[in-house]
Structure 1
């Protein structure tokens, strides 16, 4: 039987929509953040927790009759798999029980290249899940970082100025204290992103401790980020770049324009500040930075984008992939705001990844133009290219395969790797099930190894039915490849290489991406065709494990209809479906939380009224929703 994907519907959800009871929030997702340089680097408390995919739905619920509907909150819980969310949770407590570097100063760039990534990771996890947990954690980290700012520490730079920045001594010959633009961008961008996420999610009224709300924090963090931008105003050139301070003669390049990535880190901050404040000056500067970046990019023979660390005419192999990730991230932010970069430009960046950087599941070029491979300073940073998943699903599968193999979340101790796992969570597509083109496969040992099939010829095929031809998905394949193997997708005319694997040395898991750019119904049942290309040897073909079937999530518990002021609600949602699963709240009263593992709702009614909840259960294959109203007399 061909695999089926679907979603459930909820009568009460339709009733609530019809009566206008649902409050629709804006999408809080934004394709990304990343960083690296003035040296480049890598690199936190709370409980795990909430969800998104293949078509929404709902499983029953209860509704209130009469009573005043108390205004609550609505967040976006995106579609996608959930496996990388739990991987992130495995990693979060790895350093200082989740504190990471929040209590460090930046004199050795620890905040810029360590804590900056940790903060970005928490913003990405909120975009992935819609869970207030990640804004709580992010606020805690930001508060620690703000306490380390020069004007809070009472320390002074080389000009005897104590400003809204984080001084560094590590890169200067005699430890002269200097605040780098790139460091300010890395550290302050997550502050503006916090404010943007609070504004777009509608969570401003959420309490965050000490009588403060997310809205209060957003206001304070916006002011702090604006002060940091203002500290560097005298380094701005209206041609579209920042300068090293001319009087900082101890630097190697006083008065010279910054490398592209260093200006672009500030560009991300400027875009986010414009989102929050609406001030035209921020958008004007960010747009000019984007125009200058685009002007430095050449086009290679395969349509790929090529550029240098400092701009100018392209010289092979060009920018390294760590600093280059910042450029790409900034360009995607510009595209998302309709500034300078177009979809065609993003295609060129994706071509850079696929044609110049990605070699196979264990090999990456150190630079955007190719050349040397697997440098220890570069290979781990490839996760910061994951925003390109929206352009090519194969970017996701390439990074996921590498990270599962060499950078498992439970073992990492780097802020940049934590950020990359957050990006894997944010951009994880829904999973799709495979089945066999039976003529190409044999079952050589049905008694002892009956759930594995072996290819009988070169180009053996499998198929999948994507939940939607228009959306990406990934096939989690258990495979044993005795030789180097490519997985290729058929478009009706030709095959396109999506992944390249070295010999696996035995059974392992690899991801095959479905690319929506090549939809083709091969078998009349919606099946998209893939082939395995290798140097085939008879009786030693690629082995693939059969799918054991999938179970979509389904919420089975009956929600409460009433509550009592001052008494905990006491509802734990339960359901069925393949693990791992993830519980979330898409609609919630102020202050309500759900345990993302157990489904336990934590909320005590503060006053009489009707309160709307929408509980979401997700797994890697789909989602279910349950909307209900709790009446509190």
Structure 2
């Protein structure tokens, strides 16, 4: 990967630059100030994980804490913050199981295991591998981008771990994206995973691509997943808005807000790389998402439904700032 060549240039797809887009400096500065990190001790998520042994804690808790630290490192790459990040990655590396017995796939699989949603059988879910490994791969990319020679070895270890998490899901990949594994999931074997799960693996591919653009699989995965999600956002001929029904293919339900933010955040990333979405389509989906997520009469359920910003202000801004950078009025409300 490019980390071995820190002083060389690594080619990448061009980001889309917009005159009305929030600048990188504004984005990173605000991202580093969100008061989300102060609400949790460094080992909060791992204490919860120690009690349950469930990878979902690492995916939906630890990955956010680690990304928060990475936001600071991206803006201010100090030794102190790099050491904190490495502590978290070391914990994740220690909890990563190589060639563990998967109770659903009936084969050896590497990753972070969970017994939820699999009839109490230990299995590795793509959404967990994707969410947990994404910030690990992001660290490798940022080490390279900063030319942080002091952390080059750590960056390489992080990259190798993230690749293992990505490769572990390859047998679940088809022309329809990632599919349900195994034989005991109520007839779901081979059915495409929900879009937020696809997006989690797409985000991992995004960061791995940024760290090593030579592996063409990453762009291929990003493109296929983005097309699937884009196709699922259909246009209401009466309102002209895009209806964002993304739980899973063919579903008629309404997506949970945490899942929707994950999916929309992924679309932002691929749009910034110039993949799949043109300006018109992206702005249509973004405006429809903002109407549903934070507007009056929200269509996205859970804690944001029917609200502007309530008690969840900080965490809402934190997890969605990458989205809001493309909509200055909402971004400015997070300041």
Distance 2:280 2:81 in 1: 33
Q: Deviation of residue 393 (structure 1)?
A: 1.3
1:261-410 to structure 2, matched below 5 A, reads: 261-277=196-212, 278-300=214-236, 303-312=240-249, 315=252, 318-359=254-295, 365=298, 367=300, 373=306, 382-383=316-317, 384-398=319-333, 400=334
Q: Deviation of residue 291 (structure 1)?
A: 1.4
Q: Deviation of residue 188 (structure 1)?
A: 0.5
Pick closer, same or farther for the CA change 1:80–1:162 going to 2, 3 Å: closer
Distance 1:101 1:264 in 2: 23
Distance 2:155 2:325 in 1: 28
Distance 2:305 2:254 in 1: 12
Structure 1: 5+ residue runs without aligned partners? 1-22, 32-75, 207-213, 401-427, 429-633
Per the normalisation by structure 2, the TM-score is: 0.78
Counterpart contact for 1:119–1:190, Cα < 8 Å: yes
Which one has a larger percent helix, Structure 1 or Structure 2? 2
Distance 2:126 2:279 in 1: 29
1:200-211 to structure 2, matched below 5 A, reads: 200-203=145-148, 205-206=149-150
Equivalences, count: 306
Which one has a larger percent strand, Structure 1 or Structure 2? 1
The answer as to 2:143 corresponding to 1:143 is no
Match of 1:236 in 2: 173
Distance 1:230 1:84 in 2: 30
Structure 2: 5+ residue runs without aligned partners? 1-6, 16-22
Match of 1:190 among 129, 135, 147: 135
Per the normalisation by structure 1, the TM-score is: 0.44
Match of 2:19 in 1: none
**Secondary structure of the equivalent of 2:129?**
helix
The answer as to 2:28 corresponding to 1:95 is no
Distance 1:171 1:99 in 2: 26
Pick closer, same or farther for the CA change 1:178–1:386 going to 2, 3 Å: same
Over the residues paired in the alignment, what is the CA RMSD in angstroms?
A: 3.4
Pick closer, same or farther for the CA change 1:318–1:155 going to 2, 3 Å: closer
Q: Deviation of residue 222 (structure 1)?
A: 1.2
Q: Deviation of residue 149 (structure 1)?
A: 1.1
> Whose Rg is larger?
1
* CA displacement, residues 74-119 of structure 1 (integer Å, 9 cap, x when unaligned): xx9824696774553xx535434x2232463552621111111111
**Secondary structure of the equivalent of 1:365?**
coil
Q: Deviation of residue 183 (structure 1)?
A: 0.4
Q: Deviation of residue 189 (structure 1)?
A: 0.7
Distance 1:312 1:108 in 2: 25
